[in-house]
Copies of this chain bind each other. A is one copy, B any other.
């Protein structure tokens, strides 16, 4: 029921990515399409990976992850970018099974940690992750540079590549 994503899954994956963005109240933030997801996930040496949960041939859950790195541990960590289960399958153990499979994968890869981000108001997710034994890193805030500010910084770099 839980398996690695394979070429052809990008349609289902995009559907779940869009459903997650809608749940997270940012439906217009998804500019990804099937081609960009497929290119990244199914590259020769992909830097991002996906698991899907399937029931009766239908994809009902998704986990997207990549390897991050911690200079403190000197080891890679497994970063969970997205975990999503279709509304009608929540509470059925699908999310837990995806999460446990990722934890096992982290162990196989020698990772010391799994990390991810949760919206502060997403109480169901927070409850789920607490039950899994995770803890919030309350002191840390994520920062982002994008768009014109990123281009301006890049343009200010005077050195040869």
Contacts and interface: CB of A to CB of B under 8 A. Distances in A.
Nearest to A117: B140
Given A2-B159, A72-B30, A104-B157, A137 B142 contact: yes
A81 interface: yes
A108 interface: yes
A107 B31 contact: no
Interface residues of A, number: 80
Nearest to A2: B159
Interface in A134-157: 134-146, 148-157
A46 to B, nearest CB: 9
Given A13-B71, A32-B72, A133-B149, 7 more contacts: A29-B72, A40-B75, A66-B69, A97-B157, A119-B140, A132-B153, A134-B149
Q: Which 9 A-B pairs have the closest CB atoms?
A: A32-B74, A133-B149, A36-B74, A103-B153, A104-B157, A48-B69, A100-B157, A103-B154, A113-B146
Interface of A: 2, 13, 17, 20-21, 26, 29-33, 36-37, 40, 45, 47-48, 64, 66-76, 79, 81-82, 97, 99-101, 103-108, 112-121, 129, 132-146, 148-157, 159, 161
